[in-house]
A = this chain, B = another copy of it.
């Protein structure tokens, strides 16, 4: 029986333009009302997760910055800003990337947009700084090593004392792969990257939020 759902936001409970899906948010509410713990994990920032928690009426802790920070009644920061900031400054100085609006609210990661087709060049630089780069499909993030959605998943499994087969993860893009771990149930909306479809137990018929609504409305089948 699924006791915990951990879902991505962008492209998973939104549409392709990032607008929140009414059907997915309705199904999140229903799952919560049925006693399932529903949490979200995103590359976005703590005050955005604060907004989701408040205005979707969510009770579980939610995770920002790909798992690097958590909000419940308080804010918890699990990683440091030192390495992501140093790497970002180098990228900026080398004119390889520019920052994004949400950086002012970040605690332990930096978001960026590559300036031109320089992704390989950026990736090669990561080793020197001991950081990792990830892409949500909506923006690029600089993270500490070990700061990923798998970290958030392990935190929740320990906090609620859950076995892997009591957990369902939902995601669509590369930065969701770290939570697609051995033993947990894995579902993806139809728009998911091929890499995620290969790992999924279930691929929804619909894409985006409607696909995740479909998954959330049949939790008993996982």
Contacts and interface: CB of A to CB of B under 8 A. Distances in A.
A25 B20 CA distance: 10
Contacts of A105: 47, 105
B51 A19 contact: no
Interface residues of A, number: 23
The A interface is mostly helix, strand or loop, or mixed, namely helix
A160 interface: no
Contacts of A25: 20, 22
Nearest to A71: B101
Contacts of A29: 19
A64 to B, nearest CB: 11
Interface in A96-126: 101-102, 105
A136 interface: no
Given A14-B55, A18-B57, 16 more contacts: A17-B57, A18-B54, A18-B55, A19-B56, A20-B55, A22-B22, A22-B26, A47-B48, A47-B50, A47-B102, A47-B105, A48-B50, A50-B102, A51-B52, A75-B101, A105-B105
8 contacts: A18-B54, A20-B25, A22-B25, A47-B102, A47-B105, A48-B51, A48-B54, A51-B51
Interface of A: 14, 17-20, 22, 25-26, 29, 45, 47-48, 50-52, 54-57, 75, 101-102, 105
